[in-house]
Amino acid sequence: MYCNQCGAEVEDGVFVCPNCGHLLVIEPGGAEQQEPSTGKVEGAEPTPRPGGCGWAMIAGMLAGCAIVLILGLGLLGIYQGIQERTRLNRAAAIEHYHKGLEYFMAENYELAREEFALALQLDPRHSDAAAKLAEVETLLSKMPTPTSAVRYQTAILLYNEARELYNKGDWEGVITKLEQVQALDPEYEQEQVSMLLVEAYYKAGLRLVEENRLEEAIRYFDRALQLRPTEQAIREQKRLATLYLAGLGYWGADWEGAIEVFQALYQLQPNYKDTRQRLYNAHVSYANVLAAKGEWCAARDQYDRALAINFSDELKVKREEAAQSCAAALLPTSMPPPRGTFVGKVVKIEDVGLQTAMMIRGQVLDAEGKPIAGVQVGLSAWDWSAPPATTNQEGVFAFDGLGNPVTYTVTLVNLPAVPLSVKADWSKLVWVEFRPQP
């Protein structure tokens, strides 16, 4: 099939045109769709049906709607990401087109040709750039070939102009002049021209990265590496820009993919552009998606990773809700814990009158209510866990000096037990008790 926006040929099953980024409109084909039969006879009273089938149909319809919604959101995210990159490329193409016009008016046709060609690379639909490029090519083909003496004198002039632009920090101007020098006389100051070009490519690429024109920046880094393949700083900048661009491609459509890419970028250079914030946002967005699907344990883990990057009270609350739902989901719902499994409960909360104190203590008892010594008790929250406490001869254990008023998970390490969620707070001592299930 063909794109109804730019006319490019597109493979079947593709929703977004790879040429222009337009969202394709796919016409319904084939047989005419018919309304499903209701099974009713005209004039007859409806017969009541058992509720099970009706609810199953409703549940199936709701599940189908949810799947369509998720697919729609994913396609929308892909479409928005492609549209954003297309918009940036078109803006850059317009800029290069106007530069080409300036060179064209100054009768500097070789530079004009380069600018028009770059504009077309960024936006193949730019008809004005295509027309001007054809016009420039025609003019250049008719121009007489300069003699070697003229080429040499012109190369000297261009080289000196490049040095002046270098002192002003006009890196793209330096690139333009020196590339002309190479085209006129490849032997002229070959080593010096190559060295200046590498630096100009590199610094122009860095400036484009700051302007979020990453695809153009990568082109400059590639040119620099063609002249100096072993330059580590340039290779590193290209790698960072390529990763960031790949992360943007996943953004809003595939949070796992976005997290994987931005995590790799974060490990290489956490302060590269807005990598830290994007990784945080990706973890939070993915956690919200998982929570909406009821995958509470996975959502809790994503909230934990986001909190490790940037702590906030609001996000902490969402993490605690996910953790509690995760713990509840892990408990059997249709039958009690097996006989002999220790089950805990909160038996008392005391106010210790000290604002800086926060404690959880408890006792482990056997089926007859006698204390059990030597039981290891674990305490954890988020991705943190305390060294196990061991019960004394009275079966008592203690976790004093806790530092965060959150919900902790208490469990018995060396006995079969159901984990117990305990909310701790300042100036409070929470007493818990574990007994085996009869």
Q: What CATH number is attached to the domain comprising 378?
A: 2.60.40.10
Last residue of a domain, one of 310, 330, 350: 330
Contact 124, 139 (CB under 8 A): no
Residue 220 lies in a domain: no
Q: How would DSSP label each residue in 24-85?
A: P-----SSPP-PPP----TTPPPPP--HHHHHHHHHHHHHHHHHHHHHHHHHHHHHHHHHHH
Q: Which residues pair with 379 in a beta bridge?
A: 386, 410
Residues near 125 by beta carbon (within 8 Å), at least 6 away in sequence: 6, 20
Residue-wise pLDDT tens digits, 173-221:
899 889 888 888 888 888 999 999 999 999 999 999 999 999 999 999 9
Please state the rounded mean pLDDT for residues 236-245.
95
> Has residue 89 got a pLDDT over 80?
no
How many percent of the chain have pLDDT more than 90? 45
Say yes or no: 268 and 376 in one domain. no
Say yes or no: 299 and 395 in one domain. no
Say yes or no: 271 and 368 in one domain. no
The reported pLDDT for the residue numbered 392 is: 96
Of 223, 245, 261, 207, nearest to 231 by C-alpha is 223
Say yes or no: 304 and 381 in one domain. no
Contact 430, 422 (CB under 8 A): yes
The CA distance from 180 to 163, in Å, is 13
pTM (2 d.p.)? 0.50
Of 223, 226, 273, 286, nearest to 245 by C-alpha is 273
The CA distance from 27 to 212, in Å, is 37
Mean pLDDT of the chain: 81
- Worst-scoring range by mean pLDDT, 21-30, 67-76, 104-113, 308-317? 21-30
Say yes or no: 379 and 272 in one domain. no
Q: Among 137-141, 166-170, 358-362, 419-423, which range has the highest average pLDDT?
A: 358-362
